[in-house]
Amino acid sequence: MKILIHDLNENDFNLKFNVIGKDITVISNNNEIHNCIGCFGCWVKTPAACVIRDKYGDMGELYSKCDEVIIISNCCYGGFSPFVKNVMDRSISFVLPYFTYRNGEMHHKNRYNKRYKLKVCFYGDNIIEEEMDTAKKLVMANSINMNCIKHEVSFYNSIQEMEGEIL
């Protein structure tokens, strides 16, 4: 299974990406997501589940069932869009609060015996070189912390350029 997280409006997404009949769970912005409150309840109070019980409360478990996470995000100063960042924050229950060393750095231990591929597609007009560099470093750090098998980062001037290349 793949997870596709995106910040596109529904019309643009449906016109550019055909997910019908594919084993893909789509996470999109319907304005119902609550911000992570940083309480660490997903680690302490309700392990593996966010204490905020909305449709994003079980993102960690959802990640544990996938082979690939694909993210389509507007590039905002070298980072994810606010919605995508929020989904990423709400997915922290995929890992444990305990630490281990990977690549000579301290990172979270795995909660699940599952690793996935991470593919991130940033779009936006005039993404400058410094933003691309920051975005690449961010995705690499996320990939290491979530213990991904591998990661890939692409940049597009518009969503039209992505058509047919993402899935």
- The domain limits of the chain are 2-127+134-159
Diameter of the chain measured on Cα atoms: 44
Do residues 116 and 126 touch, judged by C-beta distance below 8 A?
no
Residue positions counted in the chain? 167
Is 164's pLDDT higher than 80?
no
pTM of the model as a whole? 0.94
**Domain range 2-127+134-159, CATH architecture:** 3-Layer(aba) Sandwich (3.40)
Top pLDDT among 20 and 61 is at 61
Q: What is the pLDDT of residue 78?
A: 97
Spell out the alpha helix ranges (H) of 51-155. 59-63, 82-89, 129-145
**In 3D, which of 108, 111, 135 has the Cα closest to residue 121?**
135
pLDDT tens digits, 110-140 = 999 999 999 999 999 999 999 999 999 999 9
